[in-house]
């Protein structure tokens, strides 16, 4: 599995509140058949959300594209989520989590 | 600046949970594995693997915050650390709950056996162990059957058992015994189960399906009930119950399930705009089930379960599960 990380921020101060569990649900709902998504996790941080998408993807660009396209659909799917935007995304190499790695 | 504590030193102290560490090692050695393979290899449940992946993500937030990689924003280490600590605490609490539950179960068993004479059990409840003994017992019970057989079949049995059941059923119907069978809703989608269901209806059995079923049971003439000794491991054998109180309760349970079940051939109906599956899902989550345990009980994948939940939230206009729960209760769905 690969891990893609996506940072979300509100478009404006008054962005509607969403909780991390609702965001995970909305993400699963936006997964299309054939998307190699294995697991989704979201954490609320002071500036918005950090979303982790674990993918069964062959290479880094494909994984990152899938994750970015997925989150774009999540944000487009509902009026509430439309008040959020993607500020950054990246592939997180799992071996980099190693001690001193 | 500090001399000692850099991010990874703190992590050495905190450590990953045992499960997270195992999952992490497996992911490094088997980069192509998905959740299913991890569950298989670790012989654990999906919740555990998903919790471990959550933990790895927290670790990723921590590691990459300290390094300020690329264009990613730095996340305050407290966020990830708090998640890790919270999970360790939850882990300890979960273990303590399991110990407490184990103690309660043992106490209940001891109480049950201490104030009941040994002979009573032999009369009202009998254990039958071993495939042949079970098959013989079921045949005997079938032969003495006069009016009615009620059955709940949560999962489709083996091909051999299906064939045996089909023959038995045909004989019973020929003797004018009424047979009612309740299957799981998934029987409508699974081709094997659908074949089984069709062979039942062809033999004259009335078949319905329901989204949530109690464990497997057979009730003969409303006087003898047969249930697995352990619903989680049907190979353990069966329990034949003839105590009036127990059998009457099981018959009531059966009738309740039957009333909400939908006849085979009819489409699963939506009540109040939500489907029976969504209603069951709400009820299971309200009882404290996790997504994956609710999905297991409903015979669906966790992804489908989450999708159903997202649809419900959209319908209710809820922004969190908590709000969805409140609104669903207000609608009278829970």
What's the complex ipTM?
A: 0.90
pLDDT reported for residue B240: 92
Average pLDDT of span B105-113: 64
B274: pLDDT strictly greater than 80: no
Q: What is the mean pLDDT of chain B?
A: 77
Specify which of A82-96, B42-56, B164-178 reaches the highest per-range mean pLDDT. Answer: B42-56
pLDDT tens digits for range A22-72:
899 999 999 988 889 999 999 988 888 999 999 987 677 788 889 999 999
Closest Cα in chain A, distance from residue B62 (Å): 9
Which residues neighbour B213 within 8 Å (Cβ) at sequence distance 6 or greater? B152, B154, B182, B183, B184, B257
pLDDT reported for residue B91: 66
Average pLDDT of span B83-110: 67
Which residues neighbour A66 within 8 Å (Cβ) at sequence distance 6 or greater? A4, A35, A36, A37, A53, A55, A57
On whether the pTM is more than 0.90, the answer is no
Q: Are B260 and B186 contacting, i.e. CB atoms less than 8 angstroms apart?
A: no
Average pLDDT of span B321-327: 87
Cβ–Cβ gap B73/A52 under 8 Å: no
Q: Are B203 and B181 contacting, i.e. CB atoms less than 8 angstroms apart?
A: no
The better pLDDT of the pair B155, B6 is held by B155
Residue A9: how many other CB atoms lie within 10 Å: 15
Q: Which of residues 28-57 of A touch B (CB under 8 A)?
A: 28-29, 31, 38-39, 41, 43, 45-47, 50, 52, 54, 56
Average pLDDT of span B23-49: 88
Closest Cα in chain A, distance from residue B34 (Å): 6
Residue B33: how many other CB atoms lie within 10 Å: 17
Q: How would residue B119 be classed by pLDDT, with cut points 50, 70 and 90?
A: very low
Average pLDDT of span B247-255: 89
Q: Please name the residue ranges forming H helices in chain A.
A: 20-30, 60-77
pLDDT reported for residue A14: 60
pLDDT reported for residue B106: 66
pLDDT reported for residue B265: 67
- Any idea what the Cα angle at residue B285 is, between residues B284 and B288, rounded to 5°? 95
């Amino acid at each position: 599995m690969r891990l893609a990380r996506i940072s979300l921020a509100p478009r404006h101060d008054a962005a509607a509140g969403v909780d991390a569990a609702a965001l995970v649900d909305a993400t699963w709902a936006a997964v299309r058949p054939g998307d190699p998504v294995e697991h989704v996790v979201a954490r609320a941080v002071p500036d918005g959300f950090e979303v982790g998408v674990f993918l069964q993807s062959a290479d880094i660009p494909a994984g990152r594209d899938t994750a970015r396209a997925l989150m774009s659909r999540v944000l487009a799917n509902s009026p509430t989520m439309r008040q959020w935007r993607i500020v950054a995304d990246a592939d997180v190499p799992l071996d980099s989590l190693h001690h001193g790695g | 600046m500090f001399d000692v504590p850099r991010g990874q030193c703190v992590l050495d102290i905190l450590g990953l949970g045992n499960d997270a560490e195992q999952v992490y090692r497996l992911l490094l050695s088997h980069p192509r594995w998905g959740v299913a393979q991890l569950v298989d290899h670790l012989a654990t449940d999906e919740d555990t693997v998903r919790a471990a992946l959550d933990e790895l993500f927290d670790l990723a937030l921590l590691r990459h915050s300290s390094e300020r990689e690329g264009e990613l924003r730095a996340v305050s280490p407290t966020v990830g650390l708090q998640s890790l600590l919270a999970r360790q605490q939850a882990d300890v609490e979960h273990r303590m709950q399991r110990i407490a539950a184990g103690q309660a179960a043992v106490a209940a068993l001891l109480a049950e056996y201490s104030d009941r004479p040994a002979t009573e059990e032999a009369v009202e409840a009998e254990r039958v162990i071993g495939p042949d003994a079970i098959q013989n017992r079921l045949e005997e019970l079938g032969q003495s059957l006069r009016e009615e057989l009620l059955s709940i079949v949560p999962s489709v049995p083996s091909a051999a058992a299906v064939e045996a059941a089909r023959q038995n059923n045909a004989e019973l119907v020929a003797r004018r015994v009424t047979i009612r069978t309740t299957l799981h809703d998934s029987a409508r989608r699974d081709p094997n189960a659908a074949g089984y269901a069709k062979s039942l209806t062809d033999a004259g059995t009335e078949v319905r399906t329901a989204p949530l079923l109690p464990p497997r049971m057979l009730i003969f003439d409303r006087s003898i009930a047969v249930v697995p000794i352990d619903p989680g491991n049907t190979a353990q054998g069966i329990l034949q119950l003839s105590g009036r109180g127990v059998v009457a309760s099981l018959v009531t349970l059966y009738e309740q399930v039957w009333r909400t079940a939908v006849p085979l051939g009819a489409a699963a109906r939506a009540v109040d705009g939500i489907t029976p599956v969504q209603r069951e899902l709400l009820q299971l989550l309200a009882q404290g089930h996790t997504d994956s345990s609710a999905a297991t009980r409903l015979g669906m994948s966790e992804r489908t379960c989450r999708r159903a939940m997202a649809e419900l939230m959209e319908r209710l206009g809820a922004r969190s599960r908590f709000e969805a729960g409140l609104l669903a209760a207000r609608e009278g769905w829970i």
